[in-house]
Every structure is written in C-alpha cells, then in structure tokens.
Amino acid sequence: HAYSFPKDFWWGSAVSATQIEGAANEGGKGKNIWDHWYELEPNRFFEEVGPSATSDFYHRYQDDIALMKAIGHNSFRFSISWSRLIPGGEGEVNKEAVAFYNNVIDELIANGIEPFVNLFHFDMPFELQEKGGWENREVVELYAQYAAACYDLFGDRVKKWFTFNEPIVPVEGGYLYDFHYPNIVDARRAFQVAYHTVLAHALAVAAFRTRSIEDGKIGIILNLTPSYPRSDHLGDQKAAAIADLFFNRSFLDAVVLGSFPKELVALLDEYGQLPTYEKEDVALINAQRIDLLGVNYYQPRRVKAKEHLPNPASPFMPEWFFDHYDMPGRKMNHYRGWEIYEKGIYDIMVNLKDNYGNIESFVSENGMGVQNEERFMENGQIQDKYRIEFIKGHLKWLHQAIQEGCNVRGYHLWTFMDNWSWTNAYKNRYGFISVDVQTQKRTPKKSAEWIKAVSQQNGF
C-alpha cells in the first residue's frame, strides 16, 4: 500500500455518553446540565431535539458493538456518564450503571475491541453545577473521587483512561461564548474554571498512579487548533502566538510539561485575570504528567493582528489580542462552517515531537459533519465519498508525520454512528453508520466499508 501504518495501529471511533446513550431518565441516572438546559430552554436546541433519546446505545450496545467489529474497529472510545454512575455527583455508585458499563466493556473485549474510557465529556451532574460546577474547589475533589471509583470498578479490564475530553470547550462554551450551560460571559470566571479543570485532571492522574493498573495508561483528550498567522509580519505572528497560548498551550503545557506557559500567566496577571490558586496545587500539577495524549482535530485557527484596539471598558476577552482571519481560497466544510486543512494534523504532531517530548499520541477525533445525507443514498446506502476523501486527506498527513518520527499510535473518527450534537442535534451527521432517529435503524455508509478495508490492511 502507498500508506502503511505502524503495527497495532488503533483504528476506531469515538462517542460520548450524552450523545449516544439516551435513556436519560432510566437506570437510575441523575440529571446532568444538558438534561436540565433542555428542560429549561428547548428552543435553544436544534429542532428542539434533546438529549433524552439520542441513539439509544443504552439498549442497543450489543448490536452496535457487533457492527464495530464488522467494520474493523480494534479500539473504541466512549465516556462514562458521571450522573449515571453517581447520581447527583457524590455518594453511592448506582449499581445499574455499573452493570451497564461492565456489559459494554466486556462486550467490547469479547469482540476484540479495546475500550478507551473517558471520564468527562461536557456532562456535569446538575446538582454539582448548582454548587458552582468547576468554579467550586469542592467539585474538583468530588471529580477525583468519581475518577477513583471508575478505576476501581473497571481498571481490571480498561487500560486506556482519559480524564477529560476537550476541557477547554466547557470553558469557552459555558463562560465565554455562550454555547454551553451555564452560558455566562465572564473571562475571570472562565479562567477559574480552566484552572480548576487542570487541577481536577491532575488529581485524577494522581489517583491513577496510586493504583497499580497493569499496563494502564492515563491521558487526556485535547482539541488542538493550530494557530496560523495571516502573514510573517510581527503583529500577525504575535497575534497567533497569543491565540495559541489561550487555546492550546493553556492545557497542553499543563498536562504534558507540568506547568502553565509563563507568557500566559504574565499576561493574565497584567490584566488582573489570574484565577485563585494554591501553591501546593501548582506543585501537584507539575508532578502529574500524562502518558498518552488524544488529539481532536477539526479545523485550524487563522488570526491576524488587531485592527482596532479593544475598548478597555469592555469585558476582557482573549480576542483583545487578535482578530480572526478567513484565508482566501480556504477549503470549507460549509455545513459546519469549519475550514478543512489536512496539513494541520501534521503540524500538530510535529509540534508534539519537537516541543512536547514526542509524547505518545493518537488522533482521538477528526470528522466531517454533513447535512441531509439521504441525498447521497444509492441502493439503500449513503455514498459518503466526501467523508472518505476527508479521512484520506488527513491520514496521508498523519502518515507523513509518522514517517518523520512522530509517536502517533492511532486514528479514531468522530464518530461511530450518527448521534446527538450539543449544538446541532441530528442536523450534521458524522457517523460511519447512519441512524434513523425515528426507528433507530442502523445502516453502514460507504465509509464504513472503506474503513473496514483500511483497518484490515492497516493502510490504503
């Protein structure tokens, strides 16, 4: 093959609890912020489709796992719902939830699919959000207890653990740009949330290290958005470096290098935006480095120098330091409004090699959401050639990075089957498998057949 991947490369896909399980009011599950927000403001959600039904994985996991096997997966990432495992976020574990996650894990292993388990995918238990969510230090401790409970319950079989998926997204969505509950716009509080999330991560890594999980690895999943300046001019370069500090290095440096970038700390300090922190916590963050990094990559960030100085009386925002920039002629996924830039995945991996100790990594999400995919139906199957091209384009650059010595171990697509999106419900479909939301019927798309061949041949 023109593109062969290393031995034991991880081929698979990713999902999250809220987006696929459904059964939101079954099996003793407590409420999370998404259940609550939907009750409160259903018209915020695309076509008023909420998180209660989604793709019914709770009842159909056996058939779904059989399908994963049928399309060649050797690994699969899902998340545990905190509010299902520990309703209310603290106290006793829910036995029905333990049984459900045990069944999923056992079924995956029986089918030769390695479970990758993520502990938090945007789904704060509602009661804990009422206590302030990540702004509250007590919630940080409760999260560490929840993580420890998960290791003890499932660590005998699960070897790949992730503390968070895209921890910066609840910061952006919930506290800066108004697309997650509690939809507050307040940078100072946003930075407190970000800092406490890093701390929660470090405590969960520390709890992992005190257990001896044979061959176990602990990591985190970050959405890295490489920042490209409009030009070589110093102003544009500086703008890109600052965007990179806020949106990438904030979390990446903390979890891989053990400290926040000095330039970011100095900048927040200068503007009176530093979160409240304890010295011991900084030492803890420094001591707890990850083993494995999941990289979610969808789009780059293109920036240019500010055209107008920000009004100092306006609320502080990262955008005080850069303007967004649309590169002329860029390739777009117009459905989602995201630029498609395949080389970005290579740039990320080379950066990890050069500046982050070549940490073991994999692509934990990459994917293409498309509207009205039935248009591409032929003989009962969606012919999603655009998705195949999209994946190929990224895999070629990933292959190049591996050739150059980047420590990349796998590629997971977002997502296994069409599922519920936080922002657009079932409008943009991402899956290898299409789902009829009315009947819950699953049908593999063309890309499912293609990925099966790719995973079996370990290349294309």
In angstroms, give the least distance from the CB of 187 to ligand BGP: 21
Q: Which stretch binds ligand BGP (CB under 6 A): 104-112, 228-236, 387-395, 416-424?
A: 416-424
In angstroms, give the least distance from the CB of 58 to ligand BGP: 17
Give whichever of 12 and 369 is closer to ligand BGP, judged by the CB atom: 369
Q: DSSP per residue over 54-83, as a string?
A: TT-HHHHHHHHHHHHHHTT-SEEEEE--HH
Using the rule CB under 6 A, is 457 a contact of ligand BGP? no
Q: Which H or E run contains 452?
A: helix 446-457
Closest residue to ligand BGP using C-beta atoms: 421
Using the rule CB under 6 A, is 16 a contact of ligand BGP? yes
Using the rule CB under 6 A, is 50 a contact of ligand BGP? no
171: helix, strand or coil: helix
Residue from 428, 434, 447, 455 touching ligand BGP (CB under 6 A): that is 428
CA dist 204 and 186 (Å) reads 27
Residue from 45, 101, 414, 416 touching ligand BGP (CB under 6 A): that is 414
Give whichever of 9 and 162 is closer to ligand BGP, judged by the CB atom: 162
In angstroms, give the least distance from the CB of 75 to ligand BGP: 17
In angstroms, give the least distance from the CB of 369 to ligand BGP: 5
**Contact of 14 with 162, CB cutoff 8 Å:** no
Using the rule CB under 6 A, is 333 a contact of ligand BGP? no
Please, which of residues 129-158 interact with ligand BGP by CB under 6 A? none
* Total site size for ligand BGP, rule CB under 6 A: 15
User: If you count DSSP H runs as helices and E runs as strands, how many of each does the chain have, helices first?
Assistant: 16, 17
CA dist 32 and 92 (Å) reads 17
Please, which of residues 350-389 interact with ligand BGP by CB under 6 A? 365, 369
Cα-based distances in Å from 99 to 26, 79, 152, 437 = 13, 15, 14, 26
In angstroms, give the least distance from the CB of 306 to ligand BGP: 27
Using the rule CB under 6 A, is 165 a contact of ligand BGP? yes
Using the rule CB under 6 A, is 423 a contact of ligand BGP? yes
The first and second tokens of residue 271, run together, are 């503007």
Cβ count within 10 A of residue 57: 24
Q: Which stretch binds ligand BGP (CB under 6 A): 147-155, 208-216, 351-359, 421-429?
A: 421-429
Give whichever of 249 and 336 is closer to ligand BGP, judged by the CB atom: 336
Phi, psi of 76 (to 5 degrees): -160, 130
Residue from 424, 440, 443, 458 touching ligand BGP (CB under 6 A): that is 424
Using the rule CB under 6 A, is 51 a contact of ligand BGP? no
Q: Which H or E run contains 422?
A: none
**Contact of 34 with 22, CB cutoff 8 Å:** no
Q: Which stretch binds ligand BGP (CB under 6 A): 39-47, 281-289, 378-386, 414-422?
A: 414-422
Cα-based distances in Å from 399 to 128, 294, 342, 385, 459 = 43, 17, 12, 21, 9
Q: Which stretch binds ligand BGP (CB under 6 A): 232-240, 346-354, 374-382, 423-431?
A: 423-431
Phi, psi of 160 (to 5 degrees): -115, 115
Q: Which stretch binds ligand BGP (CB under 6 A): 236-244, 272-280, 299-307, 415-423?
A: 415-423
Using the rule CB under 6 A, is 223 a contact of ligand BGP? yes
Please, which of residues 282-311 interact with ligand BGP by CB under 6 A? 296
Q: Which stretch binds ligand BGP (CB under 6 A): 38-46, 111-119, 301-309, 418-426?
A: 418-426
**Of residues 1, 71, 20, the one with CA closest to residue 447:** 71
Please, what is the angle between helix 137-154 and helix 187-209, to 10°? Answer: 30
Using the rule CB under 6 A, is 276 a contact of ligand BGP? no
Using the rule CB under 6 A, is 421 a contact of ligand BGP? yes
* Residue type for position 284: L
Please, which of residues 96-115 interact with ligand BGP by CB under 6 A? none
In angstroms, give the least distance from the CB of 141 to ligand BGP: 25
Q: DSSP per residue over 342-397, as a string?
A: THHHHHHHHHHHHHSTT-EEEEEE----BS-GGGGEETTEE--HHHHHHHHHHHHH
Using the rule CB under 6 A, is 79 a contact of ligand BGP? no
Name beta bridge partners: 118.
79, 162
The first and second tokens of residue 261, run together, are 């970038």
**Contact of 276 with 297, CB cutoff 8 Å:** no
Cβ count within 10 A of residue 162: 25
Tell me the HSE value of 455 on the side-chain side, using a 13 A CA sphere. 23
**Residue 92 a catalytic site member:** no
In angstroms, give the least distance from the CB of 13 to ligand BGP: 12
Annotated catalytic residue within 135, 166, 342, 373: 166
**Residue 365 a catalytic site member:** yes
Q: Catalytic residue positions? A: 166, 365
Binding site for ligand BGP (CB under 6 A): 16, 19, 165-166, 223, 296, 336, 365, 369, 414, 421-424, 428
